[in-house]
Amino acid sequence: MRLVKYCLALGLALVLLLPGPGWSEVLKVTQSNQSLYPDPDFGDHPVAQVPVGAEVSVVNQAGDWYKVEYQGKTGWLNRQAVVQPQSGSKFNLQGLLFGTPVKQTSSDEVALAGKGFTPEVENTYRAKHPNMNFAMVDKIESFKVAPATLQAFIQEGDLKP
Q: Which residues bind another protein (CB under 8 A)?
A: 1, 3-4, 7-8, 10-11, 14, 18, 33, 42-43, 78, 80, 86-88, 97-100, 102-104, 106-125, 128, 131-134, 136-137, 139-141, 143-145, 149-150, 153-154, 156-160
Closer to another protein at the Cβ: 32 or 61? 32
**Closest distance between another protein and the C-beta of residue 42, in Å?**
6
Closer to another protein at the Cβ: 59 or 152? 152
DSSP assignment of the chain, as one string? -HHHHHHHHHHHHHHHHS---SS--EEE--SSSEEEBSSS-TTSPPSEEE-TT-EEEEEEEETTEEEEEETTEEEEEEGGGGPPPP-S----HHHHHH-PPP-HHHHHHHHHHSS---HHHHHHHHHH-TTS-HHHHHHHHT----HHHHHHHHHHTT---
**Closest distance between another protein and the C-beta of residue 49, in Å?**
12
